[in-house]
Amino acid sequence: MPTRAFAATSPTSPLGPHAIERREPTPGDVEIEILYCGVCHTDLHFARDEWGFTSFPVVPGHEILGRVTRVGEAVTRFSPGDPAAVGCLVDSCRTCASCKADQEQFCLGGAVFTYNGEDKHLGGMTYGGYSEKIVVDEAFTLKVPAGLDPAGAAPLLCAGITTYSPLRRWNAGPGKKVGIVGLGGLGHMGVKFARAFGAHTVLFTTSEGKVADGKRLGADEVVISKDEAQMEAHAGSFDMILDTVSADHDLNAYLNLLKLDGSLVLVGAPPNPQPVSVFGLFMPRRHLSGSLIGGIAETQEMLDFCGEHGIVCEIEQIRIQQINEAYERMLRSDVKYRFVIDMASIRA
């Protein structure tokens, strides 16, 4: 069925109106009218082919929150009118060890991502949430807890799960000292979750101007990472540090802050390899790891947790016609802390 969307047609073209095709719902499908779509930095990387594997035209958007409009005859968990959400995944093989462990993002047969993935139904590539509607298998459709602001909840589908999953896996909680590096779209959610889990939460930022905001969002302490004395005061004291920064920076400075068996976990994606001193890992047996979003079950767990604790993202709403300006502002870190598109603007 014809569907209005915004797409990039080349690495140098601005995003603009573009007609795409969505499939008619199959028996197991949920059709969703998209109300809000968060803007992730990954969207910009794909729109400008900065990672070198974008297929054009590309319709970004994997932080999708909307309303169910139709369901297939085999669907049991959703009815027309229900709120529903879609994150970074729309399919997987469902039979490999990763899928059986509810880790579909690591599907050995190839996870199907919400955009720029292999469309197994229509052929070509999948198209994301910068569009008026989407059709998704019920197994990859998420329930939205009542009471959450829908615009603020949309970025939970990427920024939320990207930070929730590693904090849960590395047992952030009471009695643990947890650091969050960076206060952006990911980092501000890391602060909110670490605090909600009951950990002593320390924000690391290069900006004096973010100290007050870090504390407002839940940080017990804020460290200016350019200040060697402030960094040294925390040497060897962290159980875990979650690094959300996607620019080149010194990982060794944070490894030195870990205690025995402490972990530095990366969720940011710097453009270049980052040097690491093995001696910083040897003494006293520290760990360096990474994490990628979360599986469908864990993403639902995260949404339910946010519903119980009233957690949403700090956002600035925009119209879809402002997306190119938003990309430029995002590059300047001129947003607190996530753009969200009011998708009613695509139907105006």
pLDDT score of 269: 86
Catalogue all structural domains in the chain, each as residue range(s) with its CATH number.
2-158+294-346 (3.90.180.10), 160-290 (3.40.50.720)
Q: 317 forms bridges with which residues in the sheet?
A: 340
Specify whether the CB–CB gap between 288 and 155 falls below 8 A.
no
Please tell me the predicted confidence (pLDDT) of residue 347: 86
Q: Looking at residue 277, what is its pLDDT?
A: 92
The phi and psi torsions of 316 (rounded to 5 degrees) equal: -125, 120
Q: How many CB atoms lie within 10 A of CB 6?
A: 28
Residue 149 pLDDT: 96
Bridge partner residues of 203 (DSSP): 180, 222
Predicted confidence at residue 271, as pLDDT, reads 83
Query: Among 206, 205, 190, 192, which residue's Cα sits nearest to residue 240?
Result: 190
Q: What local confidence, expressed as pLDDT, does residue 161 receive?
A: 98
| 46 within 8 A of 58, measured Cβ to Cβ | yes
Sign of the CA dihedral running 237, 205, 162, 70: positive
What is the predicted pLDDT for the residue at 94? 96
H or E segment at 177? strand 177-181
- CA distances 106 to 61, 113, 170, 311, Å, are 20, 11, 18, 27
If one counts every other C-beta atom within 10 angstroms of the C-beta of residue 157, the result is: 31
Sorted by sequence, the CB contacts under 8 Å of residue 41 that are 6+ apart come out as 185, 246, 330
Q: List the structure tokens of 31.
A: 């059709």
**Pairing assessment for the beta strands 338-342 and 29-38 based on DSSP bridges:** antiparallel
Q: What is the pLDDT of residue 111?
A: 96
Question: pLDDT value at position 86?
Answer: 98
CA-to-CA distance for 266 and 254, rounded, in angstroms? 11
Instruction: State the pLDDT at residue 24.
Output: 96
Helix and strand numbers (H, E) in the chain are 11, 17
Low-confidence ranges of the chain (pLDDT < 50): none
